[in-house]
Structure 1
C-alpha cells in the first residue's frame, strides 16, 4: 500500500481525537453538542499543528463491549466525523473500541473515510473484555459487500492484551498481512502511553517488508527520533495532550513540537544508510 495515496506523504503522523463518553456508555454526560465541541477543538489543534491524518475513537466509553457497540455509538460517531470532515482537510480514520471493525468500516464507507484501525484482526488475544478473536475473514467479505476500498490498519499483538500462547512476532506480522490481508500494521507497547520496544519494532518492520508499519503508542518528541527509524508512520495521542495526560485536551504547542521532531527524524532516516536487519525473536 502506498501511504501517499491517503496522506500525501510516505511517513505520516496521525493524531488521535479521543471522543468524550458517547450515548449508552457508563459516563455519558447527556450532551452530544459538548462531545462535538471538544472533538472540533482537538481536530483543529491537530490539523493546525501539522499532522497528516487523524483517527477518531470512542476512547472514553470504557469499559468497552468486546466486539459490538450500541447503535447509538455508531450514530454519534458518524455525526462527529462528518462535522470534523467539514472543518479539517486531513484524512480522518475511525477506530470503534474495543474491536467493532464492522461498525468502523460501515461508518467509514458512509462518510468516505479512507481507513480504519482494528485492534484484533487475526489470532486471539486475552483482554479486559475477555478473549477477542480476529474476524478478518468476515470484515474483508463485508468490505467487498459494501463496495468499499477502506484501508485496514491492523494492530499486531495489540496493547492492553496478551496473546493466547507465545506467538512468534514475525509470524504474527506475516499472518496479519498475508492471511488477514491488512493494508498496514500497527505495533505498540503493552499499554496506552507505553512505547514499543525498538528491537521488536525493527523486527516487525522487517517481517512486514513492503507493508507500512505504524508506531501505535507511547511516541513522544524525545523518543520519536529513535522509533521512527524503524517505522513508516506514527499514531500519537497522549503525549500531545496538556501535561501529557490522556484525560486532558490536545495542546497545540505539544502538537507542533512533536511534528517538528518527527519530521526531523524522517529526514535523518532517509539520509542514513539502512541498518543491519535484526535477528528473529519471540515476543512473549
Structure 2
C-alpha cells in the first residue's frame, strides 16, 4: 500500500503542509468587510510560501471555521471550492482537502477540485468539544463511489484532536481494527490539539500493528523532532511549525519552511 505514496507525492516520507483558510462565509468570525477576497489572498500567500519552501504537498483546510461542525453547511464547501479554484493555476504540488469535520463534504470538495486525498475522522465514536462524534465509514466510502471519486485517497485520523474514544480501547487495537474493517489508504496519529506533538511511542506501536498501511504523524512535527518522527512514520502533516514564530494564527514563514525541508531532504538521503 505504500506504493501510492511515492506515486502521489514523488518521494518517500512526504511532508504534507497545511494551508489554513481564514473564516468563511457563515462562520462566526468571518470578516464580512474584507470578504472572500481576503480569504483568497491569505490562502494564495500561504500556498506560495509553502511551495517556495519546498514542501511535497499541501492540504487545504477550513482551520479557522471555529467552532467546528461535524456536518457543515453547503456554503463552507462552496467557499472552499472557490478559494481553491481561484488559485488552482498556482498549485504546483499534489494537494488534498479537509473540511472540518465532515467526511462526505471533504469528499465532495475533493471531487470538485481534483484533490488527490482527504484527511478526516471516518470511523469511531467520540466525546468531543464539538459534541458526540459518530461518523460512519461505510457511508463515506459509498459516498466516494457515488460521486465518482474512487481515486481520492482516504487518510483516517484515528486520534482526533479534542476528542476521546468512547469505548475503552487502546489506540493500537483501534488502528488494527480500523485497517481490517475499513481498509484506509493511510492512518493519521495526532496529539491532543493542533501543534501538539504526536507521541513517538504511540506512533511506533501503531506502525507495528498495521503492517503496510502508511502511518502519518499528524500534529506537532517540528524541526527538532522531525527526524525522530520520520524514522517511524511514513510521512507527516505539518501546519503550526511553518507559521511565523510557530504561532497557529499567523501566516506561513517561507524561511521556516525552507530550513525544515532541507532537514527532511537530508534525512531522506539515507533511506
State if a TM-score over 0.5 links the two structures.
Answer: yes
Alignment partner of 1:72 is 2:95: no
| Residue 176 of structure 1: how far off its partner (Å) | 2.1
Tell me, yes or no, if the aligned pair for 2:122 and 2:140 is still in contact at 8 Å: no
Provide the rounded CA distance (Å) in 2 between the counterparts of 1:117 and 1:227: 19
User: 85, 92, 106: which one pairs with 1:82?
Assistant: 85
User: 2, 5, 8: which one pairs with 1:6?
Assistant: 8
Provide the rounded CA distance (Å) in 2 between the counterparts of 1:122 and 1:207: 18
- Equivalent residues in 2 for 1:191-206, closer than 5 Å: 191-206=193-208
| Residue 261 of structure 1: how far off its partner (Å) | 1.7
Deviations 1:190-215 (A, max 9, x none): 11111111111111111121111111
SS of structure 1 residue aligned to 2:154: strand
State the match for 1:241 in structure 2: 243
Provide the rounded CA distance (Å) in 1 between the counterparts of 2:205 and 2:29: 39
Deviations 1:100-119 (A, max 9, x none): 1111101111211110010x
Tell me, yes or no, if the aligned pair for 1:14 and 1:234 is still in contact at 8 Å: yes
Question: How many residues matched?
Answer: 266
State the match for 1:41 in structure 2: 45
Provide the rounded CA distance (Å) in 1 between the counterparts of 2:60 and 2:146: 24
Provide the rounded CA distance (Å) in 2 between the counterparts of 1:264 and 1:206: 25
Provide the rounded CA distance (Å) in 1 between the counterparts of 2:116 and 2:214: 15
Which consecutive aligned stretches of 4+ in structure 1 deviate over 6 angstroms post-superposition? Answer: none
Shift of the 168–90 alpha-carbon distance from structure 1 to 2, 3 Å rule, reads same
Provide the rounded CA distance (Å) in 2 between the counterparts of 1:10 and 1:208: 18
State the match for 1:133 in structure 2: 134
State the Cα RMSD in Å.
Answer: 1.2
State the match for 1:123 in structure 2: 124
Tell me, yes or no, if the aligned pair for 1:15 and 1:46 is still in contact at 8 Å: yes
Provide the rounded CA distance (Å) in 2 between the counterparts of 1:265 and 1:167: 34
| Residue 25 of structure 1: how far off its partner (Å) | 0.4
Structure 2: unaligned runs, 5 residues or longer: none
Tell me, yes or no, if the aligned pair for 1:93 and 1:113 is still in contact at 8 Å: yes
User: 163, 166, 170: which one pairs with 1:164?
Assistant: 166
State the match for 1:144 in structure 2: 145
